[in-house]
Homo-oligomer: A and B are copies of this chain.
Amino acid sequence: MSGLFSWLIRRGLPLVPKPIVGRVAKRYVAGETLEHALSTIEQLARDGAMATMDLLGEEVRERPKALAAADEYERMLDAIAERKLVANISVKLSALGLKIDERFCSENLDRIAAAARRHGNFVRVDMEDASTTDATLRLYREMQARHGNLGVVFQAYMRRTLSDIAALPETGANVRLCKGIYVEPRAIAFKAYETVRLNFLQALEKLFERGIYVGIATHDEHLVCGALGLIDRYRVPRERYEFQMLLGVEPELRRILLAEGHRLRVYVPYGRDWYPYSTRRLRENPEVAKHVVRAFLAGRA
């Protein structure tokens, strides 16, 4: 049964019972409220980790929901400043109305970036599935030109990533590099595990060669090892890169990197819309689901 279950998760089919995903979410999500997220960040800070906050919720189809999300990001930025946390924010443009209207989304992002700038803070514009890539890069460029405090995300599985890196200006760019987690067709994405790893290291080398600030977002120790080799070869100063990991994933590797003196930022999502995010995390790591299902069937969860 667990083989079929893993297969279902990998295929991204929405057949995983919601209570199961809910149990899984507890591991990856800080809680339902801003307050939960702030206290998680304070805990991470005690271990020496920085944070990036995100409000769960994506693919928003109604304007009021997108406006409410933008309001919440402003509250986050206020709270970060007030509590003097070492944290910035990550936004998904589909949660700010990208699928409703690109102009409307741009106004929401503009408002958030302006608020971040008032606080001397930074906005990471997350990358979603390939249907949003061009619009995301357009809005990132537009707002970065206006505010100068935004960063972008490139996914190593995308065949276009090396060209997208080449198109970046060298000054002021700030890139998060991750493998990519959406299900994309072969025509635009590398599919094999080892190939995505190879392209991750190729992209990272290109970023370092160009002197661009990188958030190295991975829990794959093989890529961490390759990244450490590139940091060494290009003599990248500690303040020109950071490692990035997701809440609930690989805390041991996180501690090892912090102990070695690298800077590390944890992605701390919160909110009520934990289902799609947790389903993607499950697809990435079906082992977690097996444990949860076993505990669930045994009446322990």
**CB under 8 Å from chain B, chain A span 169-206:** 186-187, 190-192, 194-195, 198-199, 202, 205-206
9 tightest A-B CB contacts, nearest first: A202-B229, A195-B222, A162-B232, A195-B225, A199-B225, A198-B225, A187-B256, A190-B225, A198-B226
Q: Which residues of B contact A191 (CB under 8 A)?
A: 221
Can you sample 13 A-B contacts with CB below 8 Å?
A162-B232, A187-B259, A190-B225, A194-B222, A195-B221, A195-B225, A198-B226, A199-B225, A199-B229, A202-B225, A202-B226, A202-B233, A205-B233
Main secondary structure of the interface of A (DSSP, over half): helix
Residue of B nearest to A222 (CB): B195
Contact A166 B232 (CB under 8 A): yes
Residue of B nearest to A252 (CB): B186
- New A-B contacts (12) at CB < 8 Å, excluding given A186-B252, A202-B233: A159-B260, A187-B256, A190-B225, A192-B222, A194-B222, A198-B226, A198-B229, A199-B225, A199-B229, A202-B226, A202-B229, A206-B233
Q: Which residues of B contact A226 (CB under 8 A)?
A: 198, 202
A79 touches B (CB below 8 Å): no
**CB under 8 Å from chain B, chain A span 226-281:** 226, 228-229, 232-233, 252, 256, 259-260
